[in-house]
């Protein structure tokens, strides 16, 4: 570790805490990509600190890499445990949304966020095995060498490289949001206007032919995803016209979205993935537990996760 720390009594712990705080935003970003939940990410980061506090720090040569690896191990354990409990989750489970401001504010930052942690990316990450997800997130997004990831997943570096490669192929097939937040917003506004007016043809026109509609209503409220422009448009016209006028524009994980209700009393949020000028995915989240804190946490950015 850094020899510049003070030898004064009591300063060792304070120095270590300061170093950890400097790394906290990145650890939070890593854990969110691994877990898709802000609260779980906070728990993982706190557990990482506890493990650091109990460790022989004199043996740590690269604190950033050590913390990233330990946080990854904590998240891996949490994913494996969650996979068992998720077997009893009735319905679609979607990641906890990151809510930002209107896309006109800081479009470059929003584009970077959408590229590295979009809802489309998180949905694909959720479909990976825990080991594939860890290998991809640690290596491709946070640049941890395979030699350091391998012991965490109990594989050789070459096998770990193959895990990341399989994950990367899956992710490359996911819809990648159009880069211009303003154009995204125009498409979403056209969608909401068509929903308000009950215009089936106008809805179909802004939907990709293979669009998917997913809804996370919380445990015990099963709803299967809908696929295809016509089935999705029919569903929207069945339920949305009376609510569309209540939608306010927000960004969700860096892409155009809509909020129903207010941040103080949210009813639902909808994340839209706009690809090639059409909506390729609609993700509705109304699980109250996931709407408790509608904020954009520090460290939400990161290296581009979709190559």
Residues 6 or more apart whose Cβ sits within 8 Å of residue 22: none
> Do 74 and 124 share a domain, yes or no?
yes
- Residue pLDDT, tens place only, 260-290: 988 788 889 999 999 999 999 999 999 888 8
Same domain, 168 and 263: no
Do 65 and 123 have their domain in common?
yes
* Residues 126 and 265 grouped into a single domain: no
Q: pLDDT at residue 9 above 70?
A: no
From residue 94, alpha-carbon distances to 25, 36, 63, 171, 225 in Å are 23, 8, 32, 16, 11
Within 13 Å and on the Cβ side, how many CA atoms surround 264?
0
Torsion angle of C-alpha atoms 79, 80, 82, 87, degrees rounded to 10: 130
- Assess contact for 90 and 215: CB atoms under 8 A: no
242 within a domain of the structure (yes/no): yes
- Residue 21: inside a domain, yes or no? yes
The three-state secondary structure class of 58 is helix
Q: Is the dihedral of CA 111, 117, 118, 120 positive or negative?
A: positive
Please state at what angle helix 11-35 crosses helix 119-127, rounded to 10 degrees. 90
Q: Based on the domain organization, do 39 and 185 belong to the same domain?
A: no
pLDDT of 165 higher than 60: yes
Q: What is the pTM of this model?
A: 0.84
Residue 267 lies in a domain: yes
Which residues are 278's β-sheet partners?
A: 275
What is the percentage of the chain residues whose pLDDT exceeds 70? Answer: 83
Domain extent, residue 244, equals 181-291
Q: How far apart are CA 243 and CA 196, in angstroms?
A: 8
Q: What is the pLDDT of residue 301?
A: 43
List, in sequence order, the alpha helices (H) in the chain: 11-35, 38-53, 63-86, 107-117, 119-127, 130-136, 146-153, 157-172, 181-197, 200-206, 229-239, 241-244
Would you state the pLDDT for residue 235?
A: 94
Are residue 20 and residue 149 in the same domain, yes or no?
Answer: yes
Per residue in 296-305, pLDDT (tens digit) is: 444 444 444 4
Residue 98 domain flag: no
259 and 213 together in one domain = yes
Count the alpha carbons within 13 Å of 260 in the hemisphere toward its beta carbon: 18
Same domain, yes or no, for 54 and 143?
yes
**What pLDDT is stored for residue 87 in this prediction?**
59
Average pLDDT over residues 74-103: 76
Q: Are residues 34 and 78 in the same domain?
A: yes
Cα 84 from Cα 114, distance rounded (Å): 30
Count of domains for the chain: 2
Are 189 and 179 in contact by the 8 Å Cβ rule? The answer is no
pLDDT tens readout for residues 170-200 = 999 888 899 998 999 999 999 999 999 999 9
């Amino acid at each position: 570790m850094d020899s510049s720390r003070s030898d004064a009594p009591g300063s060792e712990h304070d120095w270590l805490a300061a170093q950890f705080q400097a790394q906290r935003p990145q650890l939070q970003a890593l854990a969110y990509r691994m877990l898709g939940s802000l609260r779980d990410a906070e728990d993982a980061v706190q557990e990482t600190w506890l493990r650091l506090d109990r460790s022989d720090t004199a043996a740590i040569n690269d604190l950033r890499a050590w913390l990233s690896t330990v946080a990854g191990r904590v998240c891996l354990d949490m994913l494996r445990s969650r996979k068992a409990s998720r077997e009893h989750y009735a319905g679609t489970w979607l990641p906890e949304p990151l809510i930002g401001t209107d896309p006109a504010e800081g479009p470059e930052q929003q584009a970077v966020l959408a590229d590295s942690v979009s809802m489309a990316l998180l949905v694909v990450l959720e479909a990976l095995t825990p080991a594939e997800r860890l290998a991809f997130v640690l290596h491709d997004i946070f640049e941890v060498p395979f030699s350091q990831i391998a012991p965490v997943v109990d594989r050789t570096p070459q096998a770990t490289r193959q895990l990341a490669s399989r994950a990367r192929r899956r992710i490359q097939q996911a819809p990648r949001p159009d880069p211009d937040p303003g154009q995204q917003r125009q498409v979403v506004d056209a969608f909401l206007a068509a929903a308000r007016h009950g215009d089936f043809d106008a809805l179909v026109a802004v939907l990709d032919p293979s669009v998917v509609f997913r809804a996370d209503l919380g445990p015990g409220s099963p709803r299967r995803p809908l696929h295809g422009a016509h089935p999705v448009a029919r569903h929207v016209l069945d339920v949305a016209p009376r609510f569309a006028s209540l939608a306010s524009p927000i960004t969700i994980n860096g892409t155009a979205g809509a909020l129903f209700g207010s941040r103080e009393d949210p009813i639902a949020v909808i994340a839209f993935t706009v690809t090639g000028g059409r909506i390729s995915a609609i993700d509705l989240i109304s699980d109250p537990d996931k709407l408790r804190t509608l904020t954009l946490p520090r460290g939400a950015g990161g290296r581009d996760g979709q190559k």
